[in-house]
Amino acid sequence: MTPIPDHHPLKQLFGRLTERNFSEALGWPNFEVTDYVANLLLEFIHTDQLSRIKDHEGEPVETVVELLYEAEDHSQHSSAEKECDIHRHIGDLTLFLAGVFPEYCRRIKCSGLIHHKDFLVDYVKAGKRSYGIVATHQDPQAKNPPSLFQTLSTNFELCVAGLGFVRLDLDRFQDSPRQQAQTILYH
């Protein structure tokens, strides 16, 4: 997958929305976090990224419970790097779903019958735990330092709330997307 360039309007839009909402609505101007969250939104524009982790047969792992099993398997039989990658994905996926699609998370829990494998998974707890694991295993010289993942773990609920505000802004764009996007981009 080719990275989206910094000057791309969508990258600028997500960057401004996350910075504004985390700074103004939450009172938490952590630009390392807002940059990470904006890039996460960009990454998941490509829906294949939601299931980028593959199992031993090369099949996509699509639920959090399956990802947790896959991470556990790699912690016992494989490299710590792969386990860390899976936990980072769990953190990213649960943050994205809980923040941008909370109705999806509620539907899993309230469907009455157990239809979804993640029925018993608490996305917030799973995300916090996974980012915490990444923080303890991350190389200090990596692109995203361990302290970032510890911050994401510690403040997971705040990040979910910030993404909720971003979602509200994106929902408002449906009325007049071009006009509202220009307002955010140029003000």
User: How far is CA 89 from each of CA 19, 97, 139, 155, rounded to the nearest angstrom?
Assistant: 22, 12, 17, 17
Beta-ladder partners of 60: 54
The tokens 């997500």 sit on which residue?
A: 14
Q: What is the pLDDT of residue 113?
A: 54
pLDDT of residue 68: 93
pLDDT value of residue 141: 65
Q: Which pLDDT does position 88 carry in this prediction? A: 97
Yes or no: say if 165 and 12 are a contact pair by the CB < 8 Å rule.
no
Q: What is the dihedral angle through the alpha carbons of 116, 122, 128, 130, rounded to the nearest 10 degrees?
A: -40
pLDDT at 177: 55
Return the H-helix or E-strand segment holding 74. Answer: helix 64-77
Concatenating the DSSP letter of every residue in 43-55 gives HTTSGGGGG--B-
Greatest Cα-to-Cα distance within the chain, rounded to the nearest angstrom: 53
- Give strand pairing partners of 54: 60
Annotated domain spans of the chain: 54-186
User: What does the CA dihedral 28, 33, 39, 44 come to, rounded to 10 degrees?
Assistant: -80
Per-residue pLDDT of the chain (187 residues; tens, 9 = 90+): 667 788 899 999 999 999 999 999 999 999 999 999 999 999 999 899 999 999 989 999 989 999 998 998 877 776 788 899 999 999 999 999 999 999 988 888 776 556 677 888 899 999 999 999 999 986 666 777 789 999 999 999 999 999 999 999 998 887 665 565 656 665 5
Q: Please tell me the predicted confidence (pLDDT) of residue 178.
A: 59
Q: What pLDDT, on the 0 to 100 scale, is given for residue 23?
A: 97
Task: Name the pTM for this structure.
Answer: 0.86
Chain-centroid distance of CA 159 in Å reads 9
Question: What local confidence, expressed as pLDDT, does residue 175 receive?
Answer: 63
Mapped onto helix, strand or coil, the DSSP state of residue 77 is helix
